Amino acid sequence: MIPAWVLDYPTGEETGEYLAIDLGGTNLRVVNVTLKGNNQFETKQSKYSLPEGIRTAEADELFKFMAECLKTFVDENFPSNLSEPIPLGFTFSYPASQDIIDEGILQRWTKGYDIHGVEGYDVVPMLTKALKELNVPIEVVALINDTTGTLVASTYTDKETRMGLIFGTGVNGAYYERCGDIPKLEGKLVDDISDNTPMAINCEYGSFDNEHAVLPRTKYDIRIDDESPRPGQQSFEKMISGYYMGEVLRMLILDLAEKKLIFGDNGYKQLQEPYVMDSSFPSLFDLDTSDELDNSKKKLQLLGVESTYEDRQALKELASFVGERAARLAVCGIAAICKKRNYKTAHCAADGSVYEKYPGFKERAARALRDIFQWSEKDDPIVIVHAEDGSGVGAAVIAALTQKRVNQGKSVGTKSKMESKVNK
């Protein structure tokens, strides 16, 4: 549960031009956001493919790549000389501790990233240094988790928003807490923040139950964890997020194939390669409606596997276990926060590849929430809705809220951080 130092609700009247950068699983996105007030905005974005092997590169390479993409974007979109640096909201979708809004000390990499020399360090100076080296006129004003961005972007356009959620390569959620109810911050707050001041919290619930005290794990979950770059971390995420769903299914299928329960004497060599099945595999098998499950057949052939109709029926059922478990566990985070905050109605704004693309996920998730709360009304009072773009619009709105606070002389971090900022 990381305080994210967003200390205001957006009103929808924020204005200004901001840049946002978002390092995702397969590409880096740079967005120019113009907030127009009246809940309106315009965006212009470019995507840059991540270079091969960047997930395991050195820190310098990663930040240099980010700075280069920003430079290309600025050169293309701001050709004339700028009088002031452009404010940037830096979306960094990993667990990063924050004592002030423009810092983020990476606790640990997730989602298969394993870049040396970043864990335990503040990523903002790393990006700032790389930008300076290339003379890019940008100032990082806020570091933002994707869930916090989603929460704020969706609140900008819909006042009923209570949570920002990502169901994608990783899973996580953010919500607003009362500062007076955050034990971590006791005695650390500057006077201009009262008990009733809102504070966005990045829950990082992907690491729920790292102690393995609550959720039953299958032998496949245990193996995935043991063989991952960070065993013992992100336990919840490893059971349900897009990065791992294909791998859970692969292990299940491989187990059955080795026991000769599926595929008979047909080869399945490629299935032995870890992570060879991304989430498009369970996604396709799960709700395949083609004749004789022909689409699943073709998908398996991509991995050199020949299958019978019976094999594919079994795979369909296995994939549905993986998909159903993911959806049902995923909404526990929503239920927990709504119960804690005593929300009787809520719009929970969701984004991410699993939410967007995994067939049946939305319906299963809604059904699971209904089961948890045992609603009897016709319309669900707490609903998962499609989010506004968190890493673009959300980052921009947070940058705008931050600049406003700073201009008003209000704090955006703990007492000690604010003092050291003033003394600089």
Q: Does residue 237 bind ligand BGC (CB under 6 A)?
A: yes
Which residue has the closest beta carbon to ligand BGC? 170
In this chain, which stretch among 122-130, 167-175, 176-184, 372-380 interacts with ligand BGC, using CB under 6 A?
167-175
Identify the residue among 99, 122, 146, 225 touching ligand BGC (CB under 6 A).
146
CB 388 within 8 A of CB 157: yes
Of 108 and 316, which has the nearer Cβ to ligand BGC? 108
CB of 355 to ligand BGC, least distance (A): 11
Name the strand (E) or helix (H) holding 165. Answer: strand 161-167
DSSP string, 85-109: PEEEEEE--S-EE-SBTT--EE---
Question: Residue 419 corresponds to which amino acid?
Answer: E
Contact 88, 21 (CB under 8 A): yes
Q: Is 145 in the site for ligand BGC (CB under 6 A)?
A: yes
Note whether 170 and 241 are within 8 A (CB): yes
Considering beta carbons, is residue 124 or 418 the nearer one to ligand BGC? Answer: 124
Residues with Cβ within 8 Å of residue 329, at least 6 apart in sequence: 215, 236, 239, 240
Residue 102 falls in the annotated catalytic set: no
Q: What's the closest the beta carbon of residue 28 comes to ligand BGC, in angstroms?
A: 14
- State the minimum distance, in angstroms, from the CB of residue 148 to ligand BGC: 8
Nearest CB to ligand BGC, comparing residues 168 and 307: 168
Q: What is the DSSP string of 174-240?
A: EEEEEGGG-GGGTTT--TT--TTSEEEEE--GGGTTTT-SSS---HHHHHHHHTSSSTTSSHHHHHH
Q: Which stretch binds ligand BGC (CB under 6 A): 57-65, 87-95, 123-131, 280-288?
A: 87-95
Name the DSSP letter for residue 82: P
Residues 177-236 that bind ligand BGC (CB under 6 A): 204, 206
Q: Could you confirm whether 55 is annotated as catalytic? A: no
- 111 is a contact residue toward ligand BGC (CB under 6 A): yes
- From 8, 22, 99, 146, active-site residue: 146
List the one residue from 166, 245, 300, 349 that touches ligand BGC (CB under 6 A).
166
Nearer to ligand BGC, 193 or 333 (CB): 333
Q: How far apart are alpha carbons 7 and 29 in whole angstroms? A: 26
The catalytically annotated residue of 93, 228, 279, 353 is 93
- The secondary structure of 141-172, three-state, reads EEEECHHHHHHHHHHHHCCCEEEEEEECCCEE
Query: Considering 55, 108, 341, 367, which one is annotated as catalytic?
Result: 108
Q: Which residues contact 223 (CB under 8 A, 6 or more apart)?
A: 251
Residue 411, token pair as written in the block: 């704090």
The count of chain residues that interact with ligand BGC, using the rule CB under 6 A, is 15
Would you say the C-alpha torsion 303, 306, 312, 314 has a positive or negative sign?
A: negative
Residue placing its CB nearer to ligand BGC in the complex, 74 or 397 = 397
Region binding ligand BGC by CB under 6 A among candidate stretches 73-81, 92-100, 313-321, 331-339? 92-100
Per rule CB under 6 A, is residue 147 in the interface with ligand BGC? yes
The correct pick among 91, 110, 128, 235 for binding ligand BGC (CB under 6 A) is 110
145 vs 411, beta carbon nearer ligand BGC:
145
For ligand BGC, the binding residue among 155, 172, 283, 391 (CB under 6 A) is 172
Report the alpha-carbon distance of residue 376 to residue 63 in Å, rounded. Answer: 51
SS3 110: coil
Is 296 annotated in the active site?
no
**DSSP-assigned letter for residue 394:** I
| Residue placing its CB nearer to ligand BGC in the complex, 166 or 200 | 166
Binding flag, residue 95, ligand BGC (CB under 6 A): yes
CB 228 within 8 A of CB 238: yes
Taking the complex as a whole, the smallest distance from the CB of residue 359 to ligand BGC amounts, in Å, to 21
Give the C-alpha separation, 244 to 221, whole Å.
9
Which of 89, 164, 168, 413: binder of ligand BGC (CB under 6 A)?
168
Query: CA-CA distance, 11 to 7, in Å (whole number)?
Result: 12
93 binds ligand BGC (CB under 6 A): yes
d(CA 364, CA 186): 39
Torsion of CA 395, 84, 5, 339, to 10 degrees: -20
Tell me whether residue 174 or residue 189 sits nearer to ligand BGC (CB atom).
174
Among 3, 149, 164, 170, binds ligand BGC (CB under 6 A): 170
Active site residues: 93, 108, 146
List interacting residues with ligand BGC (CB under 6 A): 93-95, 110-111, 145-147, 166, 168, 170, 172, 204, 206, 237
